[in-house]
Amino acid sequence: MTQASETQGRVRDRIDTGPRFSEADAVRLNRLFRGTDTSEMLETLLKEGMAGDVAQVSSFGAESAVLLHLISRIDPNVPVLFLETGKHFPETLAYRDLLVERLGLTNLVNLTPDPEDLAKKDESGLRWSYDPDGCCEIRKVKPLAKALAGFDATITGRKAFQSSTRKTLPRFEIDTSDEQGRLKINPLIDWSPERIEAYIAEHDLPPHPLVAQGYPSIGCMPCTSKVAPGEDPRSGRWRGWDKTECGIHKPGEDGGDGQGPASELPPGFDPVF
């Protein structure tokens, strides 16, 4: 073998370890799908493989049925990642099972905390009461990070009206939780509460049973409280703590003004939920 052919062989064998997507890719996709209907955008992305291997991350919370329904009509085998923290309301687990059956979802993936982590860092199961960030790290951030290693993009259910930290999020952004360059897709970011309600009614989707009891945003049972009329929908999450997100995203991931990266925070502040 000549030196030239040996060099070519080495080039061909090289593994590309660079980011899957760049900020420029996110900008391009935002421009490409500007004004495009949500269903059409999702169908194009999934059927044409524009985002590579995609998973939906779902909390099976108050409004989760909408995005799950949209995706189920295109491809019910898209992996749906659910963080089974061990701290959910029983109503949430029952609602998860109901939606999976009703929508014909065929690829539910329940992600659980590492037993060794729980034994070392939350043996009592009460870490949420004195260190909610640490609890989320063990039960949400780390299990999800491990699962996402095999995906190029994730679909989230975040909406601008849910909180001030989500008001400026675009449809497409880069996941900054690691260096992998995963694409994060927010199909419902510009949907209003009225549009969500209308879609649920139009398609006769079952509501989460806790919504009628005063829970417009639903997470783990110990860290979720009822919300009074007029309050921010997510104000019932980690009430009393300086915390607005669980750790799967970072608040204002685009910097809060839509112009640049968010400031550095401890690993993973702000969930898909």
Residues acting as catalytic residues = 246
Residue among 121, 119, 92, 97 nearest 108 (CA): 97
List C-alpha distances in Å: 8 to 15, 18, 270.
Answer: 14, 20, 45
The span from the CA of 103 to the CA of 70, in Å, is 10
Looking at residue 141, what DSSP letter applies? Answer: I
The one-letter amino acid at 195: R
Residue-wise DSSP of 62-127: TTHHHHHHHHHTT-TTS-EEEE--S-B-HHHHHHHHHHHHHHT---EEEE---HHHHHHH-TTS-G
The one-letter amino acid at 61: G
**Sheet bearing 54-57, strands edge to edge:** 108-111, 80-83, 54-57, 153-155, 183-185, 172-174
